[in-house]
Amino acid sequence: MLSLDIPKSAIQPELANPPYILVVEDEDLIREMIVLALKEQGYEVVTAIDGRTALNLLQEAESTSNMSFDLIVLDLMLPQVNGLDLCRLLRYQGNIIPILILSAKASETDRVLGLEVGADDYLTKPFSMRELVARCRALLRRQNFSTTPQPSILQFQDVTLFPEECRVMVKEKEVSLSPKEFRILELFMSHPRRVWSREQLIDRIWGLDFLGDTKTVDVHIRWLREKLEEDPSKPKYIITVRGFGYRLG
Show Cβ contacts of residue 116 under 8 Å, excluding neighbours closer than 6 positions.
Answer: 178
Encoded amino acid at 8, one letter: K
Residues of the chain with CATH 1.10.10.10: 154-248
Whether the CB-CB separation of 74 and 89 falls below 8 Å is answered with no
CATH 3.40.50.2300 in the chain is located at: 8-146
pLDDT recorded at residue 18: 84
Each of the 249 residues of the chain gets a pLDDT tens digit; together they read 455 554 443 444 455 578 899 999 999 999 999 999 999 989 999 999 999 999 999 888 877 655 688 999 999 999 888 999 999 888 887 788 899 999 988 788 888 888 888 888 999 988 999 999 999 998 888 776 554 455 578 889 999 998 878 889 998 899 999 888 999 999 999 888 888 888 888 888 887 666 677 888 999 999 999 999 999 999 999 999 988 899 998
CATH architecture for residues 8-146:
3-Layer(aba) Sandwich (3.40)
Task: State the pLDDT at residue 9.
Answer: 39
Hey, what CATH topology would domain 154-248 get?
A: Arc Repressor Mutant, subunit A (1.10.10)
